[in-house]
Amino acid sequence: MTTIALHALGCRLNEAELEQTARILEKNGHVIVRLEDHPELILLNTCSVTTEAMRKSRQIARKLCLHAPKCLVVMGCALDLMPEGENFFEFDPSDPAFVPPKLLLIRGFDKPRAGDIIAQYIRDHADLFSEARNIQNYISHTRAFIKIEDGCNNRCSYCSVRLARGHERSESTKDILRDIHTYTSRGVLEIILTGVQLGAWKEDQRRLPDLLTDILHQTTVPRIRLSSIEPWHIRENLWSLWCNEPRLCPHFHIPVQSGSDAVLTAMRRRTPIPAYLELIRNLRQHIADVRISTDLIVGFPGETEANWAETLAFIDEAKFDDVHLFRFSARPGTDAYNMPNQVPPDVKKMRWNEAEEHIKRHAAERLKSFVGKSYPVLWESNHAKSCAAQTMTGGYSPNYLRFERTFPAPASMRGTITMETFAMTDIESP
Ligand code: SF4
């Protein structure tokens, strides 16, 4: 038995891949622990979505080595987009704090087999790993990510994810249901379905609404959530499932990327702004207390002042609950890398600040509209602010409102659901 810690950067798909790998490692008799528990092996799933994510992936890899694992396993988009022969870690060999672990790199299409590859590596290096005992802190999950799809057939001109992940492919209904049964038998109360193109899931003639119907009918998991889903995949036969089904969590993360149709065309996005706005109007009209978030890129090449004004007007009209803002960074291998009229960094910064001001204002207004309403909250994590007498615990409502409450210690509320009323203090707490 080897102790293994997992660390994911970037999207929820990366977390789902780690969950999947963890299940195989556990089946092989290994134990998943936290980083603080001095694991013998650390598995890092990296991200390349921006230049900054790439830099962070390298930096975290170096930091993880300071936990002194015997082996560091690296996989994911940052590794896959790294030119052959380049040093991923850029270690400083003269750094006395650094004791290099053994490295295992798992590239591209080997990723689905990561669990088996690592288990085999441990068998082949039995002398390296000891028999670990007395592990106190197994990870116990209240939510689990389940990867139902990988890859993307679209060609968004800025995107490096599709280069790293390849073409669309779906997991079978049978495997997805089996995974959900496994998690629910371990007490997991919420599953999050993930994929690069979650909405592109298919099995013969069956599509995502059919899969969701099967999950609702054939499992008992109390909460089912979607991770990011593209607007062109949310048709009425999908969103209408949410109208009368409390087990489906009313929170949608729908990437838009720009509020200007001219920029969306240059990005090769498939949903124009009027259709996007109509979609979110429908969701808000038909699904009680739904919350909607999005991704937005600031400073795409050729984005003019007029385009930017359209984006600000769009933000004001859409009134998102949350927006993940990205400053455009050109990724090698993408069409946008060589586009003319790159937006200067100071202009990007100014637009970013402007967007953030609009976004924060609308998000605050939206949050206030939920004050006084009661929701079942799934408690997940004990907060660092806990003390001997009280445990501060954090959790989420189905529509992804964040709650924090104190409970008498040492009782743990982790993995339970209680009804709570959303209050102004929930908005004000960090
Ligand atoms: S839809 Fe576009 S942004 Fe999303 S993974 Fe595919 S190519 Fe990339």
Residue 324: CATH number of its domain: 3.30.750.200
d(CA 430, CA 428): 6
Does 132 reside within a domain? no
The reply to whether 280 and 231 lie within a common domain is no
Nearest atom of ligand 1 to the alpha carbon of 230? 1
Nearest atom of ligand 1 to the alpha carbon of 155? 7
143-147, strands of its sheet edge to edge: 143-147, 190-194, 223-226
* Mean pLDDT taken over the chain: 87
The reply to whether 191 and 220 lie within a common domain is yes
Does 326 reside within a domain? yes
Does 133 reside within a domain? no
Domain that holds residue 416: 374-428
Instruction: Report the pLDDT value the prediction gives residue 32, as an integer from 0 to 100.
Output: 81
**Cα(305) to centroid(ligand 1), Å:** 25
d(CA 185, CA 167): 33
The reply to whether 114 and 14 lie within a common domain is yes
Residue 87 corresponds to which amino acid?
N
**Cα(399) to centroid(ligand 1), Å:** 25
d(CA 251, CA 398): 7
Binding pocket residue ranges, ligand 1, CB within 6 Å = 152, 154, 156, 159, 161-162, 196-197, 230
**Cα(269) to centroid(ligand 1), Å:** 9
For 43-64, the three-class secondary structure string (H helix, E strand, C coil) is EEEECCCCHHHHHHHHHHHHHH
CATH number at residue 32: 3.40.50.12160
CATH number at residue 194: 3.30.750.210
The reply to whether 9 and 96 lie within a common domain is yes
Tokens representing residue 175 in the block? 């495997």
| Paired residues of 403 in beta bridges | 395
Please name which of 115, 237, 218 lies closest in space to residue 174, comparing C-alpha atoms. Answer: 218
Does 305 reside within a domain? yes
The reply to whether 268 and 228 lie within a common domain is no
Which of 326, 348, 369 is the last residue before a domain boundary?
A: 369
**Cα(43) to centroid(ligand 1), Å:** 26
Nearest atom of ligand 1 to the alpha carbon of 257? 3
* φ/ψ of residue 427, rounded to 5: -80, -40
The reply to whether 231 and 266 lie within a common domain is no
The reply to whether 329 and 394 lie within a common domain is no
Instruction: Report the pLDDT value the prediction gives residue 384, as an integer from 0 to 100.
Output: 52
Nearest atom of ligand 1 to the alpha carbon of 269? 2
Nearest-CA residue for ligand 1 atom 1 is 154
The reply to whether 266 and 365 lie within a common domain is yes
The reply to whether 20 and 106 lie within a common domain is yes
Number of domains observed in the structure of the chain: 4
pLDDT along the chain (430 residues), means of 10: 85 83 80 80 86 80 79 86 67 57 82 87 77 41 85 92 86 94 89 92 97 98 96 98 96 97 98 98 98 96 98 98 92 90 95 96 97 95 63 90 84 86 84
d(CA 168, CA 55): 27
- Sign for the CA dihedral angle at 157, 278, 299, 364 comes to negative
Q: Which of 11, 81, 154, 331 to mutate to test the pocket of ligand 1 (most atoms within 8 A of CB)?
A: 154
Question: How many Cβ atoms are within 10 Å of 88's Cβ, its own excluded?
Answer: 16
For strands 402-408 and 202-203, give the pairing: unpaired
pTM value is 0.79
Which of 323, 347, 369 is the last residue before a domain boundary?
A: 369
Please check whether residue 31 is in contact with residue 138, taking contact to mean a CB–CB distance below 8 angstroms: yes
**Cα(132) to centroid(ligand 1), Å:** 42
Instruction: Report the pLDDT value the prediction gives residue 136, as an integer from 0 to 100.
Output: 36
Please check whether residue 301 is in contact with residue 266, taking contact to mean a CB–CB distance below 8 angstroms: yes
**Cα(291) to centroid(ligand 1), Å:** 22
Question: How many Cβ atoms are within 10 Å of 202's Cβ, its own excluded?
Answer: 15
